[in-house]
Structure 1
Amino acid sequence: MIGCVFLPFVAGYYLSYLFRTINTLISGQLSADLGLDAANLGLLTSVYFLVFAGVQIPIGTLLDRFGPRRVQSVLLMIAGGGAALFGASSGFLELLVARAMIGIGVSAAAMAGLKAIVTWFPRERIALVNGYMMMFGALGAVTATTPAQWLLEYTGWRGLFELLALGSFASALLIFWTVPEAARPRVSQPTARELSAIYTDRRFWRIAPLSASCIGSAWSLQALWAAPWMTNVEGFSRESSITRLFIMALGTSGGALLLGTLADWLRRRGIGSEALFGAVTVLFVGAELALILRLPLPSLLPWIVISIVGAATVLSYATVAEYFPRELTGRANAGLNVLHFGWCFIVQYGTGLILDQWSVQEGHYPIIAYQVAFASAVGVQVLALGWFIFPWLGSLGGRLAKFFLRDPEPNRAPVEASATSAEADVLEPEDEDW
């Protein structure tokens, strides 16, 4: 099962992470070779997330109907074609189409792997195998830093994408030839009632804005805007920035396993994933504010926090799974994925649009431009965090009110003898909680 199921799908998920984050490494060369401004660069990178989000729900239906082996094989061939076109492109429109093809091609990487694990592995091992798949897949973000930089010195960004095209084709063939064919149950189309049960659920819309705004922003920063911030705002050299991106990628890989293990440990002590996710998002907002305000601490620390939050889907998916019956959790997670990648698109493209409101000074945008762009995303996260914790605050307020308004002297002296028995009953109610 490890050799014929787990590793082939991990290879596809690894490529998905690599394609997601590679543009942050080649952004400078793309801008120099093709004359791309910040807005075009943001759109080029973020179109991956836009098409990724748009096909999540249809991909879920295809996986249920045709199985992960066939769907993932076909899609990785599309990703390989997109990578080949990207490496051969000479204009912005060609790059945009190629990047969109890559996004479609790897759109099923995570869900296909999870579907395969559920299909072939014992139920009691699923959670552990899921954690390992996310951890190994996130090594694609590690490869998109220092190792890819070594290749760039010999191949250039065009040659690098030709190699990624070959890797995608090889992964598609590996899955098609190696993974066994599973019996496919007859799957009906999702009914309007089932979808309505998800998208009208208050609990879903309580966590979805926070999950999308935080995780989507973390992906956006790591995939594109972290490198320009490090070089233009913090003044690091390209080599130092790549080293920090490498450490961040390791943080994402280790963060998936860390958060999953911590959630399991807390659950055994009566603390659910929802509470841990809320705490993680508070740390995320604090890390972003530390960068924006240029607080006097090592900037690598908040960047590591940001990278770990990129793996916090482990918590939000687990939380959504607690809200719905098992037969609806796949569609609920797909709906949450749409919001994750949709917000990532908005942040990546929107950051470029905001930066373009300032003139380039000494070869880069001024610091204030980056601060305003990053702060705009943080503002949305703060609102989502308030919406998320509001029910807890209301519950806490009710408990405090009950505590302070209760009788401070429940064992009061008897009423005066002149009071009638009826008056005594009114003055001394039998409710012990009064």
Structure 2
Amino acid sequence: MPNAWLKWAGWCFLISIFMSGFFFRFAPSTLSGSMQQELSLTASTLGIVASMHFWIYTLMQMPAGMFTDSVGIRNAGIIGGGITTIGAFCFGIAPNLVVLLVGSALLGLGLSAVFVALMSYNATWFSSERHSLVMGTTMLLAALGSVIAQTPTAHLLNWLSWREIILFFGAFTLLATACLLVFCKSDPGSKKTSEAKAKKTVHPLQCGNRYVLRNRQVWLLFVCVAATNGTLYAFLGLWAVPLLTEGFSIRPAQAAQYATVTLTIYGIGSVFWGWFADRIGTKKPIIVVTCMLSVVVWACMAFAEWELGWVAMALFVLLGLSGGPVGVIFAATKESVALENVGFAIALVNMGAFLTAALVQSGFGIILDIVANAELEMAPTLQSYQIALVLPLMISSLGVVSSLLLRETGSVDPMLKG
């Protein structure tokens, strides 16, 4: 019983911090209008602010993986949660662009450690037979944070400022981190966890990480998660609501409803794809299908003439469904490496999503400014956004190629066992 309590208490506190991270990741899309007006931000500048989170998160993934494998899951979660809290408060009180960028960077830094800690926690505490489902459930709960960042936050803006909203979730992150520190201790049992293995010696861990870097399967999964989740995070994290408000002249609260539906489907899809992968005992077909679905959605958004209503809602629903297999991709990553290198490998694969998100968010803003200047427009039009949508379309196309080259997982490369 003590171990069971420890297992679920630690998971709940880590997932709470992770949920806050998803809120901070997607909130700029809903808060962009208020932020731009108060701090006089251009589309390019706003893209840089939002992407700073992703740039730091991306750069810190492999260091965070090695850090977690070395100091342990609990310590990594506590330190990551503390840095995330500081970042949230900096972001919420930012008087200028510089402090805003610092806050965004600290959010990315802290959440990189929290992510790896949570993924390693899942790999350590839950059996391989249920790993895809557990990962999917984790992403479903995390997606609740992104859902809150859409329609509920848009309505909260009627009563609270964007700063007050950010600070509230910063306080929530602080509370969850404090609970992790006070109530959760290291596993007292005899269970051989990855963090115990990591502390035996540094050299084998480093050797295993070098093998991970040479693992073709890991790099293919890197591209797959970039194609599905990276493009989705970039779009919903910043540009989805502006596209709908400026392209179709609707209110932010109405536009946020589309993003809310997408993120809800994304969360539900994470559980569904995880359950389905465990049910059929294979992962590659799911990854291939969702990569192809991502290409179809981006192509329709970029080149088809679509309107608000059921057509737009169908596209946003399919977009959320295409991002759902992230848990399946992480489970496939776990099965491709030795247990003591799971943190490092998942961190490396996750880099694909956030490197892509950073590139697309920045690139999207630059393209919009270039088109607006060329056409002497005061604000981007739907056609401007459709030109920018070619960027995620190109990246998702690479994901299809990579998914077809994957081998089915289930056994670890013998070279990675020693």
Q: TM-score, normalised by structure 2?
A: 0.85
Moved more, 285-294 or 107-116: 107-116
TM-aligned CA distance change 1:126 to 1:380, over 3 Å: closer
Match of 1:94 among 79, 89, 99: 99
Offset from partner CA, 1:159-213 (integer Å, 9 cap, x none): 1122122112111101111112236522433666433422233333334323313
Sequence identity of aligned pairs in percent? 23
Segments of 5+ residues of structure 1 without an aligned counterpart are 393-434
* Equivalent in the alignment of 1:334: 347
CA distance in 2, matches of 1:25, 1:57: 30
Following the alignment from structure 1 to structure 2, what is the Cα–Cα distance between the partners of residues 51 and 25? 22
- The structure 1 residue matched to 2:209, chosen from 195, 201, 216, is 195
2:124, 2:208 → 1: CA distance? 23
Q: Does 1:39 align with 2:36?
A: no
Distance in 2 (alpha carbons) for counterparts of 1:290 and 1:3: 42
Kindly provide the amino acid, as one letter, of the partner of residue 284 in structure 2: E
Aligned counterpart for 1:370 among listed residues 379, 385, 395: 385
Aligned residue among 295, 298, 303 for 2:316: 303
Distance 1:325 1:213 in 2: 25
Report the AA paired with residue 349 of structure 1: S
Letter paired with 1:223: G
Pairwise CA distance, 1:339:
2.1
The amino acid across from 1:154 in the alignment is: W
Alignment length (residue pairs):
388
Asked if residue 382 in structure 1 is aligned to residue 387 in structure 2, the reply is: no
Is 1:211 matched up with 2:225?
yes
Structure possessing the higher relative contact order (Cα contacts under 8 Å, 6 or more residues apart):
2
Taking structure 1 as reference, are residues 298 and 204 closer, same or farther at Cα in structure 2, changes over 3 Å only? same
Match in the other structure for 1:415: none
Q: 1:19 aligns with which of 24, 37, 58?
A: 24
1:174 and 2:174 matched: no
Residue 286 of structure 2 is aligned to residue 276 of structure 1: yes
Out of 187-196 and 293-302, give the one that drifted further: 187-196
Q: Secondary structure at the match of 2:159?
A: helix
5+ residue gaps in structure 2? 189-194, 408-418
The structure that has the greater radius of gyration is: 1
Sort the Cα spacing of 1:261 and 1:191 in 2 relative to 1 into closer, same or farther, 3 A: closer
- Would the alpha carbon gap of residues 123 and 347 (structure 1) be closer, same or farther in structure 2, given more than 3 Å must change? closer
Q: Taking structure 1 as the reference length, what is the TM-score of the superposition? A: 0.82
Conserved? CA contact 2:266–2:324, under 8 Å = yes
What's the CA shift for 1:335?
Answer: 1.1
1:289 equivalent in alignment to 2:302: no
- 2:321 alignment partner, SS class: helix
Say if 1:13 and 1:137, in contact at 8 Å, map to a contact too: yes
Aligned partners of 1:315 and 1:120: how far apart in 2? 17
For 2:186 and 2:293, locate their aligned partners in 1 and report how far apart those are by CA, in whole Å: 44
Q: Name the amino acid aligned to 1:289.
A: A
Runs ≥4 in structure 1, deviation > 6 angstroms?
Answer: none
The root-mean-square deviation of aligned C-alpha atoms, in Å, is 2.4
Would you say 1:233 and 2:243 are equivalent positions? no
**Is 1:256 matched with 2:270?**
yes
Letter aligned with residue 14 of structure 1: M
Alpha-carbon shift at residue 266 of structure 1 (Å): 2.3
